[in-house]
């Protein structure tokens, strides 16, 4: 009898637990409503991952930054189509001397909590990065900044320890302005969960890895946003994002895989050539045949990047032929090696190799860049066509990055670099001994890079980078592949133009 009661009570307990779990958990059923399209409904954006924190200037991460730019404003931004610098909270900026930058700020701008935006908030935001205790991962990029001096309410001066010509780029890509009074009052912990900025949208609710809800800021200095409510809904799986898009649950998402484009209507696809470039690195730092320039040139001739772009990527991408893409301000045209397998074999012979004697290892990530591991397979088969044996090694992303940084890759690897808007931040991080991201090194070229980076005269810089680009092509430093195509699924009732810097600013969108 007792046992019977126990089993009955267990079952009863289970039913009660079930009831307890479901009742009262209906926090918000709005997002499941598929009929919310139209001129006044909330905009729901499907996003692949969630921000790790809502504190600005902390986590170097595309996802975090993209979400935060709807809440915080930068001093300087990039134009969505061209990538050129445009002032936002800054009015203007000038270079006083090699180590001093002066920034004039816009007046009359308010934070979401009503506080005034001024020079103090700029100083506070940069100091947040510089203060070791805060553990901001941006600090490495700002280490050259000595101090930020408030000259007046709307003027700040940034003093650097060494000449820092790329500081404007750092300001545009990294720095978002926080409200000092608010952070001081509530503490960093709370400010990391309930942010206050000057941006177009104010914070409403954040359920980690679930959603981030925002509301239009009535007092926004550029005018009230066209869309009243915005929700970023976190959906890591592509197929789930696609289903959510098809059912009308979300109106916008980024990164349609190129092999799934055909499942969307033509008017539902937005495309832009990203500032991110993909390349095949040819390492002359590991022992092997690639130390010889002729072998590197031969590999350039043996790979038909146009064909891979057309077949593997269905044409979604824009070919590049040198170290920089055309969107890069320091770009100069360099000659394309083209596809010539016979010449490739000839060059190998001149270098003293028979193609059959060469075995190369090619490292690739899987799923980091569009069709990356498929591209690697295609490259391997093209090289095999002239007799070179290639072992493709597929790595998990973290492992891939670590192998590159520790120079433990094979002879070649696939990597992307972006956003690559200017010569310095691209070339400096790819072709110096310090920076491992191309694993190609040449002493003469490094000397030129270092000399050019120190120049402040824009024309001299452009000439310097032009020469470096030519040298790198002559040396066959890598096999340039393409600029990625960023593919967006866009609900037909939404106005949205994809940006070259991959940011998703709800302020720039409206309902049709």
Peptide bond connecting 480 to the previous residue in cis, omega within 30 degrees of 0: no
CB of 26 to other proteins, least distance (A): 5
Q: Which is nearer to other proteins, 103 or 415 (CB)?
A: 415
Nearest alpha-carbon partner for 276 in 338, 244, 320: 320
The distance of closest approach from Cβ of residue 430 to other proteins in the complex, given in angstroms and rounded to an integer, is: 10
- CA–CA distance, 454 with 471 (Å, rounded to integer): 19
Task: In angstroms, give the least distance from the CB of 407 to other proteins.
Answer: 12
CA distances from 100 to 71, 164, 165, 208 (A): 29, 9, 10, 41
Q: Strand order in 100-105's β-sheet?
A: 90-97, 100-105, 155-160, 145-152
Least distance (Å) from other proteins to the CB of residue 209? 4
Rounded to 5°, the CA angle 220-222-227 comes to 70
Residues that bind other proteins (CB under 8 A): 3-4, 6-7, 11, 14-15, 17-18, 21-22, 25-29, 31-32, 34, 49, 52-53, 58-61, 132, 135, 137-141, 143, 189, 192, 207-211, 233-237, 239-240, 242-244, 246-249, 397-399, 401-402, 405, 425, 428-429, 434-435, 437
Q: Report CA 252 to chain centroid distance, whole Å.
A: 18
Decide whether 182 or 211 has the Cβ nearer to other proteins.
211
Burial 35-73 (b: 16+ CB within 10 A, else e): ebbeeebbbbbbbeebbebbbbbbbeeebbbbbbbbbbb
Residue 338 CB, nearest approach to other proteins (Å): 31
Closest CB 425 distance from other proteins, rounded Å:
7
Residues 6+ apart with CB under 8 A from 332: 322, 324, 465, 466, 469, 470
Q: Which helix (H) or strand (E) covers residue 87, if one does?
A: strand 85-87
Q: Which position has the token pair 């309410």? A: 153
Which residue lies nearer to other proteins by CB, 239 or 359?
Answer: 239
**Identity of the residue, 152 or 207, whose beta carbon is nearer to other proteins in the bound complex:** 207
Residues 254 and 48: beta-carbon distance below 8 Å: yes
Q: How far is the CB of 379 from other proteins (least distance, A)?
A: 22
Q: What are phi and psi of 343, to 5 degrees?
A: -60, -40
When the beta carbons of 437 and 488 are compared against other proteins, the nearer one is 437
What's the closest the beta carbon of residue 178 comes to other proteins, in angstroms? 15
Nearer to other proteins, 94 or 133 (CB): 133
Q: Closer to other proteins at the Cβ: 10 or 96? A: 10
The residue among 377 and 425 lying less far from other proteins, judged by its C-beta, is: 425
């Amino acid at each position: 009898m007792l046992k019977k009661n126990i089993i009955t009570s267990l079952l009863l307990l289970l039913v009660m637990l079930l009831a307890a779990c479901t009742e009262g958990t209906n926090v918000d059923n709005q997002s499941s409503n598929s009929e919310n399209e139209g001129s006044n409904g909330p905009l729901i954006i499907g996003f692949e991952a969630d921000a790790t924190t809502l504190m600005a200037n902390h986590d170097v991460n595309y996802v975090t930054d993209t979400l935060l730019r709807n809440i915080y404003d930068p001093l300087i931004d990039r134009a969505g189509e061209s990538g050129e610098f445009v002032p936002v909270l800054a009015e203007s900026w000038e270079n006083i001397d090699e180590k001093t930058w002066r920034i004039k700020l816009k007046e009359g701008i308010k934070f979401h909590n009503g506080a005034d935006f001024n020079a103090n908030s700029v100083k506070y935001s940069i100091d947040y990065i510089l203060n070791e205790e805060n553990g901001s991962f941006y600090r490495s990029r700002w280490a050259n900044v000595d101090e930020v001096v408030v000259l007046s309410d709307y003027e700040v001066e940034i003093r650097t320890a060494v000449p820092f010509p790329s500081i404007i780029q750092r300001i545009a890509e990294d720095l978002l302005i926080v409200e000092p009074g608010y952070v001081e009052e509530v503490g960093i912990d709370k400010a990391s969960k309930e942010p206050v900025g000057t941006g177009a949208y104010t914070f409403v609710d954040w359920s980690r890895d679930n959603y981030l809800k925002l509301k239009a800021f009535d007092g926004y200095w550029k005018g009230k946003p066209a869309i009243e409510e915005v929700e970023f809904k976190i959906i890591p799986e592509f197929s789930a994002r696609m289903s959510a898009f098809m059912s009308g649950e979300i109106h916008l998402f980024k990164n349609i895989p190129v092999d799934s484009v055909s499942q969307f209507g033509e008017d539902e696809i937005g495309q832009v050539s990203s500032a991110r470039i993909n390349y095949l690195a040819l390492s002359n730092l590991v022992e092997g045949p690639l130390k010889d320039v002729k072998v590197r040139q031969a590999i350039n001739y043996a790979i038909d990047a146009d064909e891979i772009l057309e077949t593997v990527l269905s044409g979604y991408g824009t070919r590049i032929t040198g170290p920089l893409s055309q969107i890069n301000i320091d770009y100069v045209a360099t000659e394309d090696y083209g596809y010539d397998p016979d010449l490739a074999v000839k060059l190998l012979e001149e270098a003293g190799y028979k193609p059959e004697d060469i075995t190369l290892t090619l490292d690739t990530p899987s799923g980091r860049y569009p069709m990356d591991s498929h591209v690697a397979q295609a490259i391997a088969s093209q090289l095999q066509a002239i007799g070179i044996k290639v072992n493709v090694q597929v790595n998990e992303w973290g492992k891939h990055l670590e192998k590159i940084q520790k120079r433990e890759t094979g002879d070649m690897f696939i990597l992307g670099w972006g956003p690559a808007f200017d010569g310095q931040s691209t070339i400096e991080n790819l072709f110096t001994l310090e920076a491992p991201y191309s694993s190609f090194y040449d002493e003469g070229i490094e000397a030129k890079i270092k000399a050019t980076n120190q120049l402040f005269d824009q024309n001299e810089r452009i000439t310097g980078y032009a020469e470096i680009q030519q040298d790198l092509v002559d040396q066959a430093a890598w096999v340039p592949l393409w600029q990625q195509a960023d593919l967006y699924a866009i609900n037909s009732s939404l106005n949205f133009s994809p940006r070259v810097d991959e940011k998703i600013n709800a302020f720039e969108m409206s309902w049709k």
